[in-house]
Every structure is written in C-alpha cells, then in structure tokens.
C-alpha cells in the first residue's frame, strides 16, 4: 500500500508548504488543486514560467504530483452556466496536462440525486463524454469523487446524496459513462452520506473502476458530521481495504486546517498500525 498527501486541508498554505510537509512525513506523492482563491491552489491564469517554477519546487523536494483536483458541477440547470462550466473544466484539464498530471478529480455535481431530471442526467453525461475525449487526447484519466452535497453546520456539515453517492445513481453512472472514466473512492464521504450502507458494498460496486482514493473519516455530532483522520472514529479501514482492488496511491485527506500536520501524523500512525507494509514511494 502506497500513501501520499491530499491537498484539501492544506489549501490555506503555499504549495511549497505542501511539499515541505509531505517530505517531513517522508511522503513522495502529493495532490495539487486548480481554482479557488486559496494560497495553496494553482490559479487558472498561471504563466509558463510559474509552471516551471512549480515543477522545480516539486523536484527540489523529491515530490511527484500526478493527481490534480478540479472544481466543477455538471448538474447545473441554467444552460449558460452549464456551458461556462464545461469550458472552464476543459481549460483546467489542459492546465493539469501542462502540470504533468496523470489523473484529474472531478465531481458529478451538487444537485440532490432526488432532484435530477432525465434532461439534467443527459447533460451531465454529455459533459463527461466531452471531458473524457479531451483527457484521452492528453493522456489523462478522470476520477469522479464520491461526494455528497455538504451544507455547513457549526464546525461540520450535513451530507445529502448526489449522483456520485446515491446507490442507484452510481449504478447508472457505471453503465452509462465511458468505460475509461474511473472513480475517486472516498469512504469517509460515503459513510457520512449513507451511514446505514456497508462501505464494502460500495467498494465492490465500484470495483476496478476505482482509480483514485482519498482516506479520511467523519464523526457524527448530533445531526451533522465533522471531518477527522482515519482512526479517529469508527471507519474500519483494516476490513474495508481488503475489499478495495485499487493498487495505486492512497491519498490522506485530512480536512481540518487548524491542526492539519497533527492530523496527517495521526492518519499515518493509524494506517501503519493496520498496514505495517505501508510505503510512501
């Protein structure tokens, strides 16, 4: 099992800070993000010289960053916003290619699964087919994250089903998306949105379409969920990972910004306790 560092939770720190933290934990793989007004995110108008500087920074720290997360929503109902979204994602995919990425993380979108009409399903699937065609040309693969709609409450979120978490919607995606499109299996997100369904069921449903993986957990507080590290709550990764066929790099995604380095350390300690053979390169 190879483990690397996800970028969410580090987005308020510079990318050089991300590299430094990764190396402090002897991690050699890292995730980058495009878009959003954060110091740790790559801006869409980045120059070629800035790209060269970024790649030099990664090389100096001995870090590989083949995983790039993009921000998108292909369930938008407004036709103008939907077209703008597709154009923006195409731009971001091309930028990810210039950064040397192999995988781009996308969302299906944040409309509730229960509110999706056939027209919106068709539009979402068309957007993915278009993005997949571009990715195939550029030598990239798409990874759709299993992610619900998250509504902030206190220091956590209420999670609700989207098309990338609701069981029957996932079955439909597996049938109707191009076979080249895979999934970013995020068991923590699935636990929070669907706590009564076995995560092993989800792992077996997605099977060999899993081509990316985030590792975290969520802890229930009253009627909402607070993000935490693997091992901080009851998600049994020891059992779950036995049913995940993915052989790539698993990315720790510790979301709390105030103690992110401590959270990454706890995550690694837990993962090493259940997988003594864990590797970082």
Report domain extents, the chain.
2-274
pLDDT attached to residue 36: 84
pLDDT attached to residue 37: 86
Q: Which residues pair with 33 in a beta bridge?
A: 69
Render each residue's pLDDT in the chain as its tens digit; 281 residues.
999 999 999 999 999 999 999 999 999 999 999 988 899 999 999 999 999 999 999 999 999 999 999 999 999 999 999 999 999 999 999 999 999 999 999 999 999 999 999 999 999 999 999 999 999 999 999 999 999 999 999 999 999 999 999 999 999 999 999 999 999 999 999 999 999 999 999 999 999 999 999 999 999 999 999 999 999 999 999 999 999 999 999 999 999 999 999 999 999 999 999 999 999 98
pLDDT attached to residue 9: 97
Q: Which numeric CATH code is attached to 2-274?
A: 3.20.20.150
Residue 152, classified by CB atoms within 10 Å of its CB into exposed (0-12), middle (13-18) or buried (19+), is exposed
Whether the full predicted model's pTM is greater than 0.85, yes or no, is: yes
The torsion angles phi and psi of 164, rounded to 5 degrees, stand at -95, 5
């Amino acid at each position: 099992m190879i483990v690397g560092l996800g970028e969410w939770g580090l987005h308020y720190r510079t990318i050089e800070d991300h590299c430094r933290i990764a190396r402090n934990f002897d991690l050699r793989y890292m995730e980058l993000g495009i878009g959003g007004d954060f110091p740790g995110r790559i801006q869409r108008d980045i120059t070629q010289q800035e790209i060269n500087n970024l790649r030099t920074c990664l090389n100096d720290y001995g870090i590989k960053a083949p995983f790039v997360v993009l921000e998108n929503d292909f369930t938008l109902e407004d036709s103008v916003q939907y077209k703008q979204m597709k154009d923006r994602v195409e731009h971001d995919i091309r930028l990810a290619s210039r950064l040397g990425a192999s995988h781009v993380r996308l969302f299906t979108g944040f409309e509730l699964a229960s509110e999706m009409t056939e027209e919106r399903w068709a539009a979402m699937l068309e957007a993915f087919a278009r993005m997949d065609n571009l990715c195939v040309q550029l030598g990239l693969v798409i990874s759709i994250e299993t992610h619900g709609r998250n509504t902030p409450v206190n220091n956590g979120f209420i999670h609700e089903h989207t098309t990338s978490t609701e069981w029957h919607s996932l079955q439909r995606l597996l049938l109707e998306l191009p076979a080249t499109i895979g999934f970013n299996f995020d068991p923590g997100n699935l636990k929070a949105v669907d706590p009564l369904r076995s995560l092993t069921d989800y792992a077996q449903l997605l099977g060999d379409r899993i081509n990316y993986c985030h590792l975290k957990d969520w802890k229930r507080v009253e009627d909402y969920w607070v993000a935490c590290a693997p091992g901080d709550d009851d998600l049994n990764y020891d059992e779950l990972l036995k049913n995940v066929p993915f052989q790539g790099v698993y990315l720790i995604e510790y979301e709390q910004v105030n103690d992110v380095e401590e959270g990454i350390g706890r995550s690694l300690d837990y993962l090493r306790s259940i997988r003594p053979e864990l590797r970082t390169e």
